[in-house]
């Protein structure tokens, strides 16, 4: 039997259509959640991610491009945990969205989001792909409308997933880190990461991704 994480919906067209409607809501949620993050937290995240600079005597967050802004926002919303909770959990605790609403259901999943490196094992058109967490070895059916249009089996990418109904979604900030030709023979590390290890992995993936981008542009 397939793992509950890899169960593929019977109606992929309907699932893809629903996902297309939900994506803008997730973007809105990220913007609304981002407003809860205090300036000192923003600077603390920027320092950890080596994006903190100084201009005219003031500390500023410096991005190389717009995509780095998405990577930074994703990190500060989910990975910065003052007093043990992140900004997504803070938003859920405020009960701003009605029970049963799309934003509420999304947010209830988003507070369970976790970061890892995933190997794309199979494309499931038109709604997503099967991704294997290279650390735990778990496989997930993950909704995505862009990757299924590309030949990316074997791609390794760092991102954050969370449960929504009976499928999985990602938060949108993807870090492409490489590709393997030996998908069938790829072995996971067989280990579960704690919160501190997850944060370290997230930061190291960002550093590696930035270095790869810099090499390509240089």
Low-confidence stretches of the chain (pLDDT < 50) are: 1
Domain carrying residue 133: 11-217
Question: Is residue 195, in this structure, part of any structural domain at all?
Answer: yes
Question: Is residue 82, in this structure, part of any structural domain at all?
Answer: yes
pLDDT for the residue numbered 96: 95
Gyration radius (Cα) of the chain, Å: 18
Question: Is residue 6, in this structure, part of any structural domain at all?
Answer: no
Count of structural domains within the chain = 1
pLDDT for the residue numbered 55: 87
pLDDT in tens, 46-86: 999 999 998 888 899 999 888 999 999 999 999 999 888 99
Listed in order, strand segments (DSSP E) in 97-154 are 114-124, 128-133, 139-143
Question: Is residue 150, in this structure, part of any structural domain at all?
Answer: yes
Round the average pLDDT of the chain to a whole number and report it. 92
Q: Which residues pair with 53 in a beta bridge?
A: 60
Question: Is residue 3, in this structure, part of any structural domain at all?
Answer: no
Question: Would the pTM count as exceeding 0.85?
Answer: yes
Question: Is residue 95, in this structure, part of any structural domain at all?
Answer: yes
Question: Is residue 1, in this structure, part of any structural domain at all?
Answer: no
pLDDT for the residue numbered 48: 96
Question: Is residue 129, in this structure, part of any structural domain at all?
Answer: yes
pLDDT for the residue numbered 199: 97
Directed axis angle between helix 195-217 and helix 66-78, to 10°? 180
């Amino acid at each position: 039997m397939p793992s509950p994480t890899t169960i593929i919906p019977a109606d992929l067209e309907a699932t893809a259509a629903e996902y297309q409607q939900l994506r803008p809501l997730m973007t809105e949620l990220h913007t609304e959640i981002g407003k809860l993050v205090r300036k000192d937290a923003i600077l603390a995240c920027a320092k950890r991610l080596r994006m903190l600079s100084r201009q005219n005597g003031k500390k500023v967050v410096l991005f190389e491009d717009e995509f780095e802004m998405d990577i930074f926002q994703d990190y500060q919303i989910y990975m910065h945990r003052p007093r043990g909770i992140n900004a997504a959990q803070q938003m859920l605790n405020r009960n701003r969205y009605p029970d049963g609403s799309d934003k509420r259901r999304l947010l209830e999943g988003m507070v369970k989001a976790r970061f890892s490196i995933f190997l794309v094992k199979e494309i499931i058109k038109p709604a997503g792909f099967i991704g294997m967490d290279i650390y735990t070895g778990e496989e997930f059916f993950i909704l995505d409308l862009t990757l299924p249009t590309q030949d990316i089996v074997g791609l390794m990418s760092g991102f954050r997933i969370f449960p929504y109904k009976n499928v999985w979604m990602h938060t949108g900030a993807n870090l492409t880190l490489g590709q393997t030709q030996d998908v069938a023979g790829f072995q996971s590390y067989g280990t579960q990461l704690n919160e501190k290890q997850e944060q370290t992995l997230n930061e190291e993936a960002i550093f590696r991704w930035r270095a790869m981008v810099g090499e390509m542009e240089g």
